Amino acid sequence: MTVNTHAHYYWGKPTASIDWCEPNYTVSPYIAEFWNSISSLWLCVLAIFGLYISKVDRLDRRVSIAYLGLCIVGIGSTAFHATLLYEHQLLDELPMIYSSLFFNYCVIKELVPNRVLLVGGLTLYGVLTTAVMLVFQDFPILHQLAYAALVILIVVRSAFITHYAPEKKLYKQLYIYAFISFGSGYMSWLLERKLCHNGQVIAGVQMHAIWHILTGLGTYVWIQFMIIYTVQVQNARKIEGNTRHYEL
């Protein structure tokens, strides 16, 4: 939500393609969207905790990369909401794309024997998405569609893994928890975009901050899902002595 003048804005006139429902600079003269910025740090908290656990448990390097991606998204999101500058918007939105590409790689690579083809395809998707976002800066829907496609692919592939997993109960619990958390977060995001009026949807409730909290939690839980999948794939390879495993 914008006001008539930007003269008193610490970071100057907003240049981002989206200005969210939370009124600007109402809590702090130095932070454009205070609650959206603070809630973004929640992603960093989850990621740092995950990185610590992965180090203690000596988990696969891919797990650390996944948590690092989540942390970078949190940092970028904080910068974006604190300043509402376009360059900081990119620090939020591009890591969302890149981390989702990596998540897809982690759960799809067993299906694609040609690793070069898989990495090349995902890299091309990232490059094209980046180029489109830089050229069409005033069309945030393009980023939203690109990100949604990656999330849908993760959801579908994870459902497939859950269905065929030998330990279906644990997979199912994590999948449902992550799906409900992320889905609820998306509903908060959507309600804010559609029903914002006078700086709020529901009095005293910051819907975009809820999006940060729920999607951060959903992503964290999904990474646990990915950890189990990765460990079981590695164990299956050791037992069978080849590069194939049960059809996940």
Q: How confident is the model at residue 1 (pLDDT cuts 50, 70, 90)?
A: very low
Does this model's pTM top 0.75? My answer is: yes
The DSSP symbol for 23 reads P
Q: Residue 241: pLDDT band by 50, 70, 90 thresholds? A: low
- Closest Cα partner for 72 from 101, 41, 103? 41
Strand partners, 75: none
Residue 4 has pLDDT above 60, yes or no: no
* pLDDT given for residue 6 in this prediction: 64
| pLDDT level of residue 113 (50, 70, 90 thresholds) | confident
Distance CA 153, CA 159 (A): 10
Q: At residue 124, does pLDDT exceed 90?
A: yes
Q: What number is the average pLDDT over the span 120-137?
A: 97
Q: Confidence class of residue 179 from pLDDT cuts 50, 70 and 90?
A: very high
Return the percentage of the chain with pLDDT > 70, whole number. 93
Stated as kind and residue range, the H or E segment containing 53 is helix 34-56
DSSP code of residue 241: T
7 has a pLDDT exceeding 70: no
H and E: helices and strands count for the chain = 7, 0
pLDDT at 52: 96
pLDDT confidence of residue 247: 43
Q: What percent of the chain has pLDDT over 90?
A: 79
Average pLDDT, the chain: 91
36 or 8: whose pLDDT is higher?
36
Give the pLDDT score at 8: 76
Lowest mean pLDDT among 46-60, 174-188, 224-238: 224-238
5 pLDDT above the threshold of 80: no
At 67, the pLDDT band (50, 70, 90 cuts) reads very high
Q: Which of 162, 175, 166 is nearest to 245 (CA)?
A: 166
